[in-house]
Amino acid sequence: MELKADVVDYMGKMENGVLVLLSIGCGGKFTEGTIFYTADNFVITVSEEVEKAIGSPIEMWAGYAAFAESVLKKLIPCEQLLNRMDEVDFSKYIDFDGETSFVEDEIDPDDIESIEE
């Protein structure tokens, strides 16, 4: 199985590193992943679908070293970005208004029984 990755967005900086959104190609399908990298370390995440296709967690996969190297070659060095980037703004990627709500059609309040005895 071959994995390919392309940079989609430099999401921003956080904790002395840079978070990048990736497009991951696996078996003719594309999913998203991320890489968080600093001057001396990195972490790659991929979807569960990709890990199922390769048969293991990404970091345990036999092709991980070559895949990681191919991703790292596409990135701008961390030191060059940290002073020029804003902090990651997760609100651009996650649609959450800060409020929670109750979906009435999923649970009928009359069906809820007290567990107090």
Rounded CA-CA distance 14/5 in Å is 22
Q: What is the pLDDT of residue 1?
A: 79
Can you tell me the mean pLDDT for 83-103?
Answer: 73
Q: What is the pLDDT of residue 96?
A: 58
- Tokens found for residue 67: 């895949």
Q: Which of 88, 92, 94 is nearest to 10 (CA)?
A: 88
Q: What is the pLDDT of residue 58?
A: 94
Question: C-alpha angle 87/88/93, rounded to 5°?
Answer: 155
- For the chain, the domains span 3-92
Q: pTM (2 decimals)?
A: 0.75
Can you tell me the mean pLDDT for 93-100?
Answer: 63
Q: What is the pLDDT of residue 69?
A: 96
pLDDT class of 95 with cuts at 50, 70, 90: low
Read off the pLDDT of residues 3-51 as tens digits, 9 standing for 90 and up: 999 999 999 999 899 999 999 999 899 999 999 999 999 999 999 999 9
Read off the pLDDT of residues 48-70 as tens digits, 9 standing for 90 and up: 999 999 999 999 999 999 999 99
Residue 88 pLDDT greater than 80, yes or no: yes
